[in-house]
Amino acid sequence: MKTIGCIIYAVLFTMPLCAAETGSTSELGKLYVTLDSLLDNRERIYSEKEKRIEVVRAGLDDPRLGDSERYALQDRLYNEYCAFKYDSAYKYVMSNVVTAQKLGDASKEALSKLHLAHILSVSGLFDQAELTLNELNPDQLDDKTKVEYYNQLGELNLFQSEFAVNTRYFNLYHDRAQTYRQQIIDTADPTTFEYGFSQAVFLCENGKVKEAINRLETLLKTLREGERNYSIVTSTLAYFYDHLKNGQKKEYYLLLSAISDSRAAIAENNALRELSAILLAKGDTDRAFRYLNEAIENANFYGTMLRNQQAAALVPGIVKAYDSMKTTQSNHARWLIICLSIVTLMLVVAVFMMLRYLKKRKEANQKVREMNQLLNDNLKQLEETSTKMKESNTIKDEYIGRFLDLCSSYIDSADEQRKLENRLARDKKLPELYAELKSTKYITELTTMFYQNFDNTFLKIYPTFVEEVNNLLEPQNRTEVKGEKLNTELRVLALIRLGISDNQKIASILRSSITTIYTYRSKLKAKAIRKETFEDEVRMIESFV
């Protein structure tokens, strides 16, 4: 278990920021602020990356493009998508296998198949990855390609060992990974990254963790920020320090990995999930929940089940911590109500005494009426505050419950999709598999499921929402919903009622462009009876509480 972890960490994390010599509490705090800021801008970062990729992809449309140039562009697109979107990476590496065969270039074909094996391993299609690697003869490969060949075999066995923990197959996969790592050391140039990194891993496995750390920190100085190898080293250092029970250093290097992943739009990562577990143990439930949610979103965006399964394992702990937090809040609220009741009782007694004392005096009666009015106002304000607290708690409970159900449904649905694709791949029905991967039906179904859950949850909390909105519109402009509980216009207003006013966030949730959302809001205001205060009146629509 201890030995295999060294290499597993090397494979799991991606893209670095910059290493530092210390991991003090204040430094960790600054890194968390940086990470939170990057997560807030996730949609913008992903959008910019997709624009850069599209510039490269457009080159494939040139009819004058030769096979060699096409291979180079497709290889570049594979590298862009490798840790960003699984299905796109798979598409371009498969195209490169075919292109290399057309060129009759055995070296390019071998390299493309090694890339294909990596993508299949990451997706959990271990049998297909093994079949792909078995097509290659290491004796016919040059030393550089041979090192990559042994690296992919080691990676495949690492993922298999990860799934085989606590079974009799674990040692089998572990020993195979060890064998391939040794072959890398025997084959690689001593000046290369692969050689130095492999040596450090072996030191860790032999119990020489401090020496392994020194080697990796020395190796780190030769790498540049933003390189994948830099990220591999920093993430592996996180494990090494965990082996030494140095939780602060482990957290420090995980933060570097997570920040780099977020800055470079890396979706195939584990750092956020690991940080979520650390934060949960510290009692920082809100941030732990956010990071786990981001990890699940990244896994869904990347498109394979491996990371989703790992993130799902943390959900029960998050739920348990949330329940504990809610119990504590309820106890605090109970004591607050008791104190307020005592204060209110004291005020009532005081009013009663003053009424008796000032009964026959006209001026005193006026003062008593004023105090009575003040007390009524305070009680009314207290009642309004209590109502708002009930509504807030109901909304949180309802949406968190729905969110967990939806996550579970997405995981089940994604698992069914994985099984279907695995079955097609196993039966070598490549046309059907390609059609399944290309189809948008799966995303459409999940989007429909999301809208249904959103509509049901929202209307459960605001059952008269549609009617109240129509009352704010001119009679000829009132909305009629057909075939669904809410349409897009009403969903925009529903998000505004929930406190989400930013067009970017609304567009992201409803999978629309910012321009579309802006147009909807402008048209709705134009239809309103009181145009200037329309959205403020929507925010005041009451729930069932």
> Cα(first)–Cα(last) distance of the chain, in Å?
52
Angle CA 191–72–228, to nearest 5: 40
CB 269, CB 299: distance < 8 Å: no
Query: Can you tell me which residue has the tokens 């278990």?
Result: 1
> Which two three-digit tokens encode residue 95?
């195209």
Kindly write down the DSSP assignment for every residue of 355-398, as one continuous string.
HHHTTT-HHHHHHHHHHHHHHHHHHHHHHHHHHHHHHHHHHHHH
3-state secondary structure of 473: strand
The predicted structure's pLDDT at residue 411: 61
Residues 6+ apart with CB under 8 A from 299: 267, 307, 308, 311
Return mean pLDDT, the chain. 81
CB 394, CB 545: distance < 8 Å: yes
> Which two three-digit tokens encode residue 330?
């309820």
The predicted structure's pLDDT at residue 501: 86
Listed as ranges, residues in the chain with pLDDT below 70 are 1-23, 226, 305-326, 328-329, 363-365, 367-368, 371-372, 374-415, 417-418, 436, 439, 482-484, 544-545
pTM: 0.56
Distances (CA, A) of 503 to 500, 507, 512: 8, 6, 10
Distances (CA, A) of 254 to 24, 270, 388, 424, 484: 14, 9, 39, 37, 44
Residues 6+ apart with CB under 8 A from 331: none
The predicted structure's pLDDT at residue 414: 66
> Which two three-digit tokens encode residue 306?
């491996």
The predicted structure's pLDDT at residue 8: 41
CB atoms within 10 A of CB 353: 10
Helix (H) or strand (E) segment spanning residue 61: none
What gap in Å lies between CA 151 and CA 259, rounded to an integer?
Answer: 26
93-105 tens-digit pLDDT: 999 999 999 999 9
Q: Rg for the chain (alpha carbons), in Å?
A: 30
What gap in Å lies between CA 10 and CA 238, rounded to an integer?
Answer: 10
Kindly write down the DSSP assignment for every residue of 395-443, as one continuous string.
HHHHHHHHHHHHHHHHHHHHHHHHHHHHHHHHTT-HHHHHHHHH-SHHH
246-288 tens-digit pLDDT: 999 999 988 888 888 888 888 877 888 889 888 988 888 889 8
The predicted structure's pLDDT at residue 244: 93
Query: Can you tell me which residue has the tokens 């998508």?
Result: 81
CA torsion through residues 215, 219, 221, 222, sign: positive
3-state secondary structure of 528: strand
**Sequence-ordered alpha helix ranges (H) in 427-513:** 430-438, 441-461, 465-472, 488-497, 503-510
- Establish how many alpha carbons lie within 13 A of residue 199's alpha carbon, considering only the half-sphere containing its beta carbon: 17
> Which two three-digit tokens encode residue 153?
């075999």
CB 17, CB 256: distance < 8 Å: yes
Q: Return the closest-CA partner of residue 484 out of 454, 527, 455.
A: 455
